Structures are given as structure tokens and as C-alpha cells.
Amino acid sequence: MNQWQASMPTNIALIKYMGKKPGQKNVAENPSLSYTLNDLCSTVILKEGDGNDGFEKSSQLNQEEQARFIKHLQFLKNQFDVTQKYQISSENNFPLGCGLASSASSFAALTECALKAFGKESLPASEKAQLSRQGSGSSCRSFFSPWGYWHGDKVEGMDLPYKNLIHHVIVVSKEKKLVSSSEAHQRVASSLLFADRPLRATKRLDLLLKAFAQQDWLRIKQLVWQEFWDMHALFETAAEPFRYITENSYKALLMLESFWHKNQDGPIITMDAGPNIHLLFRPDQQKMCNEIIDATRF
């Protein structure tokens, strides 16, 4: 029986995709920019099977997540008139569903693996990204490294400085989050802050690209900090508010702010839809990264 395997990395957005255009499948309200995290990967294996498309028994995914995965596989099969049935298995080398952007890598890996199984692996990355976007919006940026830029109906790499950043996550919690990012995309639309969100994100992206061009690390840090708070403010001001930031997330953020204040230097700090804190260091900041790891063990 034939089988195929593909691994794809996740990515962390510096300008966030949050909020979708109503009535369309994963069409973002605003452009987003991410750094690809090549050490945090999902691996998907597809085995030819008979019966229905389904999961191996040992899967870590719950029923709802499995259904979403199968739906995406079927969408991909329809695109290429494939009728073969498959058994899916999927694994991550990091915890699922706690703001480490697992949906990005898992849908990218499923897309890549299915295209291998269909003999379509040589499609251009931009086409693979568009297919993957239909399963999970953020996954489309994982097809480009180190920088992925998704704007309108285009996904592409971007030639920015800082190509070898060191990524570290302050893992505040490994618990699965109560509000999935799919649900967050729906709920933020009820916030009064949402109407102007595309404008703010677009402006901030513009300023961020200027800061990149000038290699102005402090300005990059400031803009990325403002951006994650902007997304978390949407959560907090939704008609039915919800949050991911916990007391320990907040403690770590305050500690990082005072670290920056004391040293006039530090990492880029961001949060996804989860309680954990993502840090990006320049290669010359390795020693600082070790110090921060020691100071933020929970």
C-alpha cells in the first residue's frame, strides 16, 4: 500500500490575520506578515485506504479537528478529481492548540502531503499556499521562509533583513485554549474596534516595513508589541469578551518590558491567540536569549 509523508513548519505573525471577510472562505480582512518557525513542525502521513477518508486511531486530534482536516483533504481531492481514499495521521513536535499556531503547520503539511500523493508536488509555492489557505488562513504563509506575506489574494515571500532570528516561546500554559482561533475570527467582528482594524493593520505593516528597511530593531519591537495588543484588544472588546492572556503571561510581559528598559535592547515580543509569548532574537543576542529563558521559567 502506498504512503506519503510531508512536514511543514508553523509561523508566527508580526502583523496578525484576525477577522475574515463574511461569506468567503478564509479571506483575510487585512494583510499579514509572519516569520516561519522552521523548528516547529507538523508531519502528516497519508496512506492509501479503502472505505472512507479517516484518521488513524491514535490521533491526538479531537473529533472536530479531525472533521476539519478530512474536509480539507476532500476539498484538495475535488480540485484534482482524486477519488482514492486515505488514512491520515498527523503529529506535531510541539503542543497543540495553545497559541503555538499549530493549525498553520498542520494544514500546510496536509496540503503538501496530499499534493505529493496526487503527483502535484511540483506546483509553485504560491499555488500550494492558496490551496492551503482554504483549510487554515495562516497556513498559507508557511510555504515561504523566512518571511511570509499574505495580502489580498496573494501569498509570497518577502526579502527582509533578519533572516536568521532565534525563536523562543515562553510557555505559560500547554492547556488547550477554550476559544479556537476559528471562533475568535467570528467573535472579533462584534467589537467596535473592528471596523477600523484593516486600516490600522495596513498602516502598521507599512510602518513595520519601513523599520525593517532601516534595520531599526527598537521600532520593530514597538510596532510588533502594539500589534499583538491590538489583536488581544479585539478579543477583550468583543460583544461577548474572551481572553487568552493569563496572570503569568502578564507577569512575563512586564518582566520583558523592564528588561528592555534596563538594557535598551531585547527581543521582539508577540503573542498569538493563546497565553504563550513568542520572542525573536537577533543572532548576536544569543546570550540575552539564554538569560531570558532562565528568568522566565514557570
Residues lying near ligand PMV in the complex (CB under 6 A): 13, 16-18, 32, 101, 103-104, 136-138, 181-182, 185, 272-273
Select 184 or 211, whichever has its Cβ closest to ligand PMV: 184
Least distance (Å) from ligand PMV to the CB of residue 259?
25
- CA neighbours within 13 Å on the CB side: how many for 243? 9
Least distance (Å) from ligand PMV to the CB of residue 197?
13
Select 142 or 285, whichever has its Cβ closest to ligand PMV: 142
Least distance (Å) from ligand PMV to the CB of residue 28?
8
* 91 burial via Cβ count (<10 Å: 0-12, 13-18, 19+): middle
Least distance (Å) from ligand PMV to the CB of residue 164?
21
Residue pair 162/282 in contact by the 8 Å Cβ criterion = yes
CA separation for the pair 97, 254 (Å, rounded): 24
Select 40 or 288, whichever has its Cβ closest to ligand PMV: 40
Least distance (Å) from ligand PMV to the CB of residue 78?
21
Select 18 or 76, whichever has its Cβ closest to ligand PMV: 18
User: Which DSSP category does 176 fall into?
Assistant: P
* 230 burial via Cβ count (<10 Å: 0-12, 13-18, 19+): middle
Q: At what angle do helices 125-133 and 102-117 cross, to 10 degrees?
A: 120
Least distance (Å) from ligand PMV to the CB of residue 121?
23
Distances in Å between the alpha carbon of 143 and those of 58, 68, 93? 28, 20, 18
Three-state secondary-structure class, residue 68:
helix
Select 13 or 117, whichever has its Cβ closest to ligand PMV: 13
Select 26 or 285, whichever has its Cβ closest to ligand PMV: 26
